[in-house]
Amino acid sequence: MAAPKKTVAKESGQEKAGSPPEFTREQELKALRDMLLIRRFEEKAGQLYGMGAIGGFCHLYIGQEAVVVGMQMALKPGDEVITGYRDHGHMLACGMESRGVMTELTGRRGGYSRGKGGSMHMFSKEKHFYGGHGIVGAQVSLGTGLAFANRYRGNDNVSVTYFGDGAANQGQVYESFNMAELWKLPVIYVIENNRYAMGTSVSRASAQQDFSKRGVSFNIPGKQIDGMDVRAVKAAADEAAAWCRGGNGPIILEMQTYRYRGHSMSDPAKYRTREEVEKVRHDQDPIEQVRNRLLASGVSEQDLKAIDAEVREIVNEAADFAQHDPEPDPSELYTDIYR
């Protein structure tokens, strides 16, 4: 049976969206709260790391909140999410509890992986979140496998597979692209292009800097999206999810976003200027965009402060619990280990 004719992003990377569809007030408020939860959580995680309460690696999502929040607004129960190691925001957006995520960061038994996975290895079958993966690009083949399972089972679930501009140069990404298009798998590949990968500008690391075109040789359509505007992300996600559920195969969304912190907590980010970071914060911050629209629509400053206060209380409670929960019993060391 012939594959449906493609109508989305006919010329990959060339379709530029105009003004994104407006949100209702309820959508704006939800987006604000969800992004604030991620922002305040990551700020607190950074504080705890500096205090020594969190060890190992810690990659913060500050600045990129609109990507995962906008994507999640377009999904339905049963859709899967998988990502790399900058994953705390994705967990929270999927509905995983702040307490469980923070407790895993501190290596305590109440964490999502019982304190044994840390920042990069958390999962929730209940919320259909499949990690958190520390190997660059490894989640792309796994996310493609999730989409294969959906196709095999005959459901209309979609696998949302996140990876960064650095991971986009990994070979397994293109093997996955090839299989996904051959088998018309329902997978949305979300490339979170934050411009610097691990610390090298895309202009120095990528021969093709338009990541929405990375699927051209596999006939996979792609679009570039303003990843700092939650409305643009949600609109693109709606279109991409409908494309996949319609049996058309995979699609690529390049989210043009920006991280304010270094690659990880150990990265001083000397490869860019302070002025560049401040300009993005001032002109494009995803949370401030929503906040300003709400103020313009008549929502009071007091109401917005109340939302922020509620979020801070949730995060502070999670941090307090995470520092006092017991560590895993030594007998747990080999539990869930297969050899």
CA distance 330 to 339: 19
**CA 263, 307, 193: angle at the middle one, nearest 5?**
25
Structure confidence at residue 264 (pLDDT): 95
- Mean pLDDT of the region 174-186: 98
Residue 276 has pLDDT above 70, yes or no: yes
CA distance 99 to 339: 31
Instruction: Give 76-92 pLDDT, tens digit per residue.
Output: 999 999 999 999 999 99
Say if residues 121 and 134 touch (Cβ distance below 8 Å). Answer: yes
CA distance 308 to 302: 10
Q: Please tell me whether the overall predicted TM-score, pTM, comes out greater than 0.85 for this model.
A: yes
Q: Could you tell me which of 177, 260, 263 has the C-alpha nearest to residue 212?
A: 177
Residue 213 has pLDDT above 60, yes or no: yes
Say if residues 105 and 48 touch (Cβ distance below 8 Å). Answer: yes
Instruction: Give 36-75 pLDDT, tens digit per residue.
Output: 999 999 999 999 999 999 999 999 999 999 999 999 999 9
Q: How many CB atoms lie within 10 A of CB 177?
A: 22
Written in H, E and C, the secondary structure of the chain is: CCCCCCCCCCCCCCCCCCCCCCCCHHHHHHHHHHHHHHHHHHHHHHHHHHHCCCCCCCCCCCCCHHHHHHHHCCCCCCCEEECCCCCHHHHHHCCCCHHHHHHHHCCCCCCCCCCCCCCCCCCECCCCECCCCCCCCHHHHHHHHHHHHHHHHCCCCCEEEEEECCHHHCHHHHHHHHHHHHCCCCEEEEEEECCCCCCCCHHHHCCCCCHHHCCHHHCCCEEEEECCCHHHHHHHHHHHHHHHHCCCCCEEEEEECCCCCCCCCCCCCCCCCHHHHHHHHHHHCHHHHHHHHHHHCCCCHHHHHHHHHHHHHHHHHHHHHHHHCCCCCHHHCCCCCCC
- Please state, rounded to an integer, the average pLDDT across all residues of the chain: 94
Q: How many CB atoms lie within 10 A of CB 49?
A: 21
Say if residues 165 and 211 touch (Cβ distance below 8 Å). Answer: yes
Residue 143 has pLDDT above 70, yes or no: yes
Integer CA distances (angstroms), 125 to 14, 53, 115, in order: 37, 27, 17
Structure confidence at residue 339 (pLDDT): 65
Instruction: Give 15-36 pLDDT, tens digit per residue.
Output: 445 789 999 999 999 999 999 9
Q: Could you tell me which of 157, 189, 203 has the C-alpha nearest to residue 255?
A: 189
